[in-house]
C-alpha cells in the first residue's frame, strides 16, 4: 500500500539559508520514499503545475527509472484511486473537510508530528476533534513522548467540549509511533576519512573530539551551558576539542555562543563550522570521537542527529529528554543524562502571556527552557568515561550502529509507513458499512455555498418556476462578443465557458420558457451550472428572468 505525497517545495528543501529539523526530516523521508517505496509510480499531490515539476524532478534524483505523476489540488477526487494522502506535518481540519466534498471514505489522511509547542500546532491538533477526522486517519508520532503530548491535547479538548456542549462521542485519528529514519549506509561512510578530516581541522593525535551538530539556538534547541561546563571540567585532565557544526539565525545569537564559550569553557579548543554545507558536515562527522546533544527545549519532539551519530558509529551523550528516550539506550549506545523541569502549574503565566501575544513564540519557548535543568555532574562523568576508555567508545559506537540499522534505517521506516497505510485502508473499507447520510455529503460548516450563506443579500429569490426570455434583437455573434469582454469574467471560471453559456442562451428560446424546462432540456449538464449560467446571461442583458407564470407558445 502506498500514498500520494503532499508536496510543497519548501517542506523538503535543505539548501536554503536557515534549514530546520523538519526540512531535514522531510528531505530524508522523500528521498527514501523515492528509493524504497513499493510503488513504481510515485504520486505527488500539488497545488500547482510548477510544484508538480519539482516533485517529479526530486523523485528522479533518487529513482531515475521511475515515472512519477502528480494530482493537482483541483482534481483532488483522484486521490480515491490512491487511497491515502500523506503530508509531512500533522493532518489538519481543512484536509478533512476537503475530503468531505468527495465522501468521508474516499481516502485516508496521514501526517507526522514535528514541533508541538507552537500555538499553531496545538490549535491545529485540538481543532481536529470538531472537524471531519475519521478513524482511518493517522498522525504518525515520532516518539512516545510526542504521542503523550498529542493525547493530552486531545483529552483537554474533549473535556472542554463535554462541559461546554455536552458532547459524549469523539473521533480521534490513529496515533502510531514510528521514528524518523536515517540513511545508515551513507552515514556510516562518513567516518572513513577520519585521518584526513582531523588533519584538515588541525586536530592532534590524542585529542578528544566532541561534536555537536545542528541548529545553534540556545533558546529554541539546546542551551550550550551544561555542555560547556562539563567539557571545561574534562579539559583539566584531557586535551578537549569541541566542534559545533551548525548555523545561527543571526549574528547576535552567534555572538552569544562565542561569549558563553569564552566564559564557560576557556580551556577547550573550539571549532565552529558552517553546518549548512554537506561537505562540512561530512568533515565534522569524520573528525569526532563522541557526539553530544543536550536538548532541553519543549519545541523538540524527536531529535534526528543522535541516530545519525549512532549510524556513523559514534557513541552519544544526550539528555534523557523527549524523543531521545526512545532512541538512545543509556550505557549501551552512549549515555543519557538526567533532566529536571519545573512542576505542572508553574507555567500558567508563560502560557497566558504567549496566548495573549504578549510574548512571541521564541520568547515563550526560551523562557520555558530556563526551567529545565541538565545534570552537569552526570554529563561530565559520561565524558570522562568515554575520554579515558577508547574500547568503550568503540563498543558503544558499534552498538549504536547496529541499533540504527535494525530500527532507524529508512528501509525499515518506509516499510512501516506502508504497513500503516495498508492498515488505514482496511479501517476505511470497514467504515464504508456506515456511510454518512446523503444529506451530509460535502458538508463543510465553515465553507458553505455562498448563495446559501448570503441568501439574505438579494431582494428577489430565484425559482425554477420563473420564466426566461431571450433579449430581443440579439444573435449568436452578439452573445459571444459580450461574453468575450474581460468584465464578463468567463475566462476566470474553470467550470463555465462561452460555448456553455451560448448553449443555455439558445435553450431559453425567443418565446420564453421556464427554468425547469431549461433544466430538463439540459440534462447532460450540472443543474447548478445551468442555473448559474442563466443568471450570468441575465447580468449581461442577454436574457430576462421574470416571475411570470405564463409562457407564450
Residue pLDDT tens, the chain, 553 long: 789 999 998 888 877 767 777 888 889 999 999 999 998 899 999 998 889 999 999 999 999 999 999 999 999 999 999 999 999 999 999 999 999 999 999 999 999 998 899 999 999 999 999 999 999 999 999 999 999 999 999 999 999 999 999 999 999 999 999 999 999 999 999 888 999 999 999 999 999 999 999 999 999 999 999 999 999 999 999 999 999 999 999 999 999 999 999 999 999 999 999 999 999 999 999 999 999 999 999 998 899 999 999 999 999 999 999 999 999 999 999 999 999 999 888 998 899 998 999 999 999 999 999 999 999 999 999 999 999 999 999 999 999 999 999 999 999 999 999 999 999 999 999 985 344 555 455 677 777 778 888 888 888 889 999 999 999 889 999 999 999 999 999 888 888 999 999 999 999 988 889 999 999 999 889 999 999 999 999 999 999 999 875 554 4
The reply to whether 42 falls in a domain is: yes
Residues 56, 68 contacting (CB under 8 angstroms): yes
86 lies in the same domain as 38: yes
Closest CA to 110 of 413, 419, 435, 424: 424
| pLDDT score, position 449 | 76
Question: From CA 147, how far away is CA 180, in angstroms rounded?
Answer: 14
111 lies in the same domain as 45: yes
Cβ–Cβ contacts within 10 Å for residue 464, how many? 12
The reply to whether 320 falls in a domain is: yes
124 lies in the same domain as 229: no
- For 46, the domain range is 4-180+415-439
Question: From CA 26, how far away is CA 13, in angstroms rounded?
Answer: 8
SS3 state at 450: helix
* Bridge pairing between strands 69-72 and 372-374: unpaired
pTM: 0.86
Please give, one letter per residue, the 3-state secondary structure of 339-359: EEECCCCCCHHHHHHHHCCCC
List, as one string, the DSSP characters of 405-456: IIIIBHHHHHHHHHHHHHHHHHHHHHHTTSPPPGGGTT--TTS--HHHHTTT
22 lies in the same domain as 165: yes
- Per DSSP, what are the bridge partners of residue 214? 246
Residues 332, 404 contacting (CB under 8 angstroms): no
146 lies in the same domain as 198: no
Name the burial class of residue 334, with classes exposed (0-12), middle (13-18) and buried (19+) by CB atoms within 10 angstroms of its CB: buried
219 lies in the same domain as 364: yes
The reply to whether 233 falls in a domain is: yes
- Per DSSP, what are the bridge partners of residue 224? none
| pLDDT score, position 433 | 38
Q: How many residues does the chain have?
A: 553
Question: From CA 27, how far away is CA 382, in angstroms rounded?
Answer: 33
CB under 8 Å to 529, separation ≥6 — which residues? 495, 496, 500
Cβ–Cβ contacts within 10 Å for residue 241, how many? 24
C-alpha cell at 320: 534523557
Closest CA to 91 of 161, 3, 6, 160: 6
Continuous H helices in 219-250: 225-234
| pLDDT score, position 435 | 45
Which residue bears the cell 434583437? Answer: 473
Closest CA to 200 of 98, 280, 289, 97: 280
38 lies in the same domain as 113: yes
259 lies in the same domain as 136: no
Residues 194, 282 contacting (CB under 8 angstroms): no
The reply to whether 122 falls in a domain is: yes
The reply to whether 107 falls in a domain is: yes
The total number of structural domains in the chain stands at 3
Residues 248, 257 contacting (CB under 8 angstroms): yes
The reply to whether 72 falls in a domain is: yes
277 lies in the same domain as 175: no
Question: From CA 312, how far away is CA 184, in angstroms rounded?
Answer: 7
434 lies in the same domain as 460: no
Cβ–Cβ contacts within 10 Å for residue 220, how many? 21
Name the burial class of residue 282, with classes exposed (0-12), middle (13-18) and buried (19+) by CB atoms within 10 angstroms of its CB: buried
Which residue bears the cell 485540538? Answer: 126
C-alpha cell at 153: 491535547
Question: From CA 226, how far away is CA 218, in angstroms rounded?
Answer: 11
Cβ–Cβ contacts within 10 Å for residue 140, how many? 25
The reply to whether 262 falls in a domain is: yes
Instruction: Report the sign of the C-alpha dihedral through residues 80, 81, 83, 87, in that order.
Output: negative
360 lies in the same domain as 435: no
Question: From CA 549, how far away is CA 513, in angstroms rounded?
Answer: 10
The reply to whether 315 falls in a domain is: yes
H-helix or E-strand spanning residue 194 = helix 194-200
Closest CA to 465 of 397, 545, 409: 545
The CA-atom distances, in angstroms, between 192 and each of 134, 197, 287, 312 are 48, 9, 10, 10
SS3 state at 188: helix
312 lies in the same domain as 264: yes
Amino acid at each position: 500500500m502506498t500514498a500520494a505525497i503532499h508536496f510543497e517545495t519548501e517542506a523538503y528543501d535543505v539548501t536554503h539559508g536557515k534549514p530546520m529539523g523538519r526540512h531535514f526530516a522531510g528531505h530524508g523521508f522523500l528521498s527514501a520514499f523515492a528509493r524504497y517505496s513499493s510503488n513504481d509510480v510515485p504520486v505527488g499531490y500539488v497545488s500547482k503545475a510548477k510544484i508538480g515539476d519539482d516533485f517529479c524532478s526530486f523523485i528522479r534524483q533518487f529513482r531515475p527509472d521511475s515515472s512519477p505523476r502528480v494530482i493537482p489540488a483541483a482534481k483532488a477526487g483522484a486521490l480515491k484511486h490512491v487511497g491515502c494522502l500523506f503530508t509531512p506535518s500533522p493532518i489538519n481540519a481543512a484536509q478533512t473537510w476537503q475530503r468531505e466534498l468527495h465522501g468521508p471514505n474516499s481516502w485516508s489522511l496521514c501526517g507526522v508530528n514535528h514541533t508541538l509547542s507552537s500555538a499553531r500546532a496545538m490549535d491545529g491538533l485540538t481543532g481536529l476533534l470538531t472537524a471531519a477526522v475519521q478513524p482511518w486517519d493517522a498522525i504518525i508520532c515520532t516518539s512516545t513522548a510526542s504521542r503523550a503530548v498529542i493525547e493530552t491535547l486531545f483529552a483537554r479538548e474533549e473535556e472542554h467540549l463535554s462541559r461546554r456542549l455536552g458532547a459524549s462521542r469523539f473521533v480521534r485519528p490513529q496515533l502510531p509511533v514510528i521514528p524518523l529514519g536515517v540513511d545508515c549506509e551513507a552515514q556510516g561512510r562518513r567516518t572513513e576519512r577520519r585521518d584526513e578530516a582531523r588533519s584538515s581541522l588541525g586536530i592532534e593525535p590524542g585529542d578528544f573530539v566532541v561534536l555537536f551538530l545542528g541548529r545553534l539556538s540556545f533558546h529554541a534547541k539546546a542551551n550550550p551551558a551544561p555542555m560547556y561546563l562539563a567539557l571545561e571540567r574534562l579539559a583539566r585532565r584531557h586535551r578537549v576539542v569541541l566542534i559545533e557544526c551548525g548555523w545561527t539565525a543571526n549574528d547576535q545569537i552567534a555572538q552569544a555562543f562565542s561569549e558563553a564559550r569564552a566564559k564557560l569553557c576557556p580551556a577547550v579548543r573550539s571549532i565552529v563550522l558552517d553546518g549548512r554545507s554537506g561537505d562540512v558536515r561530512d568533515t565534522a562527522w569524520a573528525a569526532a570521537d563522541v557526539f553530544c546533544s543536550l536538548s532541553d527545549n519543549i519545541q523538540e519532539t524527536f531529535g534526528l542527529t543522535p541516530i545519525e551519530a549512532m549510524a556513523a558509529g559514534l557513541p552519544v551523550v544526550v539528555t534523557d529528554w523527549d524523543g531521545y528516550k526512545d532512541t538512545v539506550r543509556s550505557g549501551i549506545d552512549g549515555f543519557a543524562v538526567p533532566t529536571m523541569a519545573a512542576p505542572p502549574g508553574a507555567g500558567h503565566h508563560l502560557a497566558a502571556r504567549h496566548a495573549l501575544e504578549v510574548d512571541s513564540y521564541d520568547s515563550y519557548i526560551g523562557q520555558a527552557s530556563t526551567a529545565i535543568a541538565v545534570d552537569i555532574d552526570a554529563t561530565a562523568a559520561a565524558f570522562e568515561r568515554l575520554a579515558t576508555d577508547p574500547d568503550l567508545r568503540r563498543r558503544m559506537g558499534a552498538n549504536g550502529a547496529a541499533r540504527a540499522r535494525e530500527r532507524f534505517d529508512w528501509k525499515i521506516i518506509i516499510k512501516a509507513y506502508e504497513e500503516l497505510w495498508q492498515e488505514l485502508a482496511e479501517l476505511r473499507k470497514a467504515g464504508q458499512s456506515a456511510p454518512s447520510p446523503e444529506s451530509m455529503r460535502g458538508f463543510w460548516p465553515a465553507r458553505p455555498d455562498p448563495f446559501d450563506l448570503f441568501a439574505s443579500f438579494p431582494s428577489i429569490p430565484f425559482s425554477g418556476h420563473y420564466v426566461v426570455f431571450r433579449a430581443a434583437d440579439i444573435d449568436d455573434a452578439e452573445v459571444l462578443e459580450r461574453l468575450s469582454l474581460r468584465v464578463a469574467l468567463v475566462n476566470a471560471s474553470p467550470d463555465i465557458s462561452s460555448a456553455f453559456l451560448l448553449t443555455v442562451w439558445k435553450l431559453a428560446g425567443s418565446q420564453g420558457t421556464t427554468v425547469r424546462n431549461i433544466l430538463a432540456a439540459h440534462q447532460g449538464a450540472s443543474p447548478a451550472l445551468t442555473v448559474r449560467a442563466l443568471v450570468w446571461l441575465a447580468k449581461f442583458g442577454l436574457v430576462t428572468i421574470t416571475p411570470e407564470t405564463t409562457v407564450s407558445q
